[in-house]
Amino acid sequence: MAQLCTYLAPRSAAGSGSVQTLSDVDLVAVLIGPTPDDRWRACALVARQASLAALGVTLRAPGHDLDGASHRRLLAAVELGCRALADKCDAAQLRRVQDLVARYRDLALSDAEQLVVVCLDAGRHLVAEYRFHGGLDSVTAPLPLLLRRVLESGAPGFALVHNHPSGDPRPSAADRAFTERVAAAARLCDLRLFEHVVVAARGWARVPGGTS
């Protein structure tokens, strides 16, 4: 997403037709305000980011140079985008890892770790979901409680999705060990762990370690 501003003249949404034709910088400038200085600010803000998800993380963190109204407008736009993605990915589409990533992409914007247990039927339709909340770099999900939630849902299997607030999606050694423990315990309960995925501001990654 990082890019240079090749021109700095402001463009209005009304004067440029559909908003679908606007660049990332122009969309941010429209939300910040109508003046030429606002496009300078939008260019600087976008150029510092690796992705739109990273922009959301930046907006939630202290230290930005936006005024209160502009900040709230941008945060609202990011939140609407996340909700639109979640609505688009209905239960029938959770058959691929990419579908899980799209549905739970909002986790990348969280400043604390969260783990979502996604209960799925044999066709990988969503049956239920449960969230466990953690701190800056870890989340505690008691294994007996996690499996009990899946059993209570009646689903034959489940997927796990969690975030890395650091922005780096690479699975840690602890992520792998946890996945192995969950997969082994699930097999004892005649359950199947379909996937374990990490989402973050700089992308996503599968967690190896015993999924079947």
**pLDDT, one tens digit for every residue, the chain (212 residues):** 434 444 444 444 444 456 666 777 777 778 877 676 777 777 777 777 656 666 766 676 666 667 777 777 887 887 776 666 555 544 445 778 899 999 999 899 888 899 999 999 988 899 999 999 876 656 778 899 999 999 999 999 999 999 999 999 999 999 999 999 999 999 999 999 999 999 999 999 999 876 65
**Cα three-residue angle 194-196-201, rounded to 5 degrees:** 140
Contacts of 83 (CB under 8 A, 6+ apart): 106
Amino acid identity of residue 4, one-letter, is L
C-alpha closest to that of 33 among 2, 69, 5, 65: 69
Q: Are strands 192-200 and 157-163 parallel, antiparallel or unpaired?
A: parallel
CA distance 18 to 14: 8
Domain at 91-206: CATH architecture: 3-Layer(aba) Sandwich (3.40)
Q: What residue ranges do the domains of the chain occupy?
A: 14-86, 91-206
**Predicted pLDDT of residue 35:** 72
pTM of the entire predicted model: 0.60
